Amino acid sequence: MAALLIARIEYPTLDVRPYLTQLDALGRDAAQRLSAASPRVNTPARVDPERHAAVLALNQFLFDELQFTGNSSRYQDPRNSFLNEVLERRTGIPISLSVVYMEVARRAGIEIEGINFPGHFLLRCPARTELGYSADLIIDAFHGGAILSEDACRVLLRRSEGDDAVLERHLTGHATKRQILARMLVNLKQLYVQMNSFPQALDVTELLLAIEPTATHELRDRGLIAYHLNDLSSALRDLRTYLALSPGTPHSDADRQDHARIVEHVKTLRRRVATFN
């Protein structure tokens, strides 16, 4: 699983096979719990009773029995983004706990998909529309598998997007594997930059560019990180390329300020690099 390989940024010799074996074992145990689950009398309206019972059984297994939990006290700890650490310590952030949830669910035979929700990664157990059920189950792995109402999702969205955000747009579709990897890496890059751990931030940015070579903002970030590492030639190359690939007229004030900042960096780098020749 590619998400496990991210941990090699911090643990270069990590063998991922024991963790895949652990996920396989968790999946088998979860399948046993799910096979014994039975629909409850308080299943919400329009929700598939069997899938509701399966999600509750999976939640009980992961969060009550195994004690996986959101790391709210040390949210900024980079270990929360490494799946080997999440499996060993049984704590993480929304996206890493969601990945564990999805992988265990897949092995247990229940369909769970990711939602690339702004500010807080979520999960969905889709409704079986062929049976007449129309309501998906929206799950928050960070908060013990809580099943979120539409109103609760709207509150989450307002925290990161403001009052004008349209909920339906963010709940439509599912996160692809590439999007999940990119989001995990972006989280990790931001943490490393905040910690001034620029060599690790550079490694993460290289992975992001491998996932999406046309991501110009990652090219910009790689240049800025190289600047911090005093690799002036690489910084100049990346920032000049970023400006060349950027739109001619930035749309927002923030974009214009960022563009102007990069232009000034390039001017400074040209002067400094010229003194080496």
pLDDT in tens, 103-135: 999 999 999 999 999 999 999 999 887 777 778
Q: What is the DSSP letter of 115?
A: E
* 238, 221 Cβ separation under 8 angstroms: no
The CATH number linked to 227 is 1.25.40.10
My answer on whether 36 and 127 are in the same domain is yes
Domain that includes residue 160, residue range: 2-171
Would you state the pLDDT for residue 133?
A: 73
Would you state the pLDDT for residue 135?
A: 85
Contacts of 154 (CB under 8 A, 6+ apart): 167
The CATH number linked to 148 is 3.10.620
My answer on whether 156 and 213 are in the same domain is no
My answer on whether 103 and 164 are in the same domain is yes
* 63, 43 Cβ separation under 8 angstroms: no
My answer on whether 109 and 91 are in the same domain is yes
Would you state the pLDDT for residue 163?
A: 78
For the whole model, what pTM was predicted?
0.92
Would you state the pLDDT for residue 162?
A: 84
Would you state the pLDDT for residue 130?
A: 78
- Point out the residues of the chain with pLDDT beneath 50: none
Helix, strand, coil percentages, rounded to 5, for the chain: 65, 5, 30
My answer on whether 24 and 130 are in the same domain is yes
Q: Please state the domain count of the chain.
A: 2
Q: Among residues 127, 145, 171, which one ends one of the domains?
A: 171
Q: End-to-end distance of the chain based on CA atoms, in angstroms?
A: 46
Would you state the pLDDT for residue 7?
A: 96
My answer on whether 251 and 199 are in the same domain is yes
My answer on whether 166 and 181 are in the same domain is no
My answer on whether 189 and 154 are in the same domain is no
Residue pLDDT, tens place only, 19-60:
999 999 999 999 999 999 988 878 888 888 899 999 999 999
Q: Among residues 140, 171, 202, which one ends one of the domains?
A: 171
CA–CA distance, 272 with 277 (Å, rounded to integer): 10
Distances (CA, A) of 138 to 3, 135, 276: 22, 9, 57
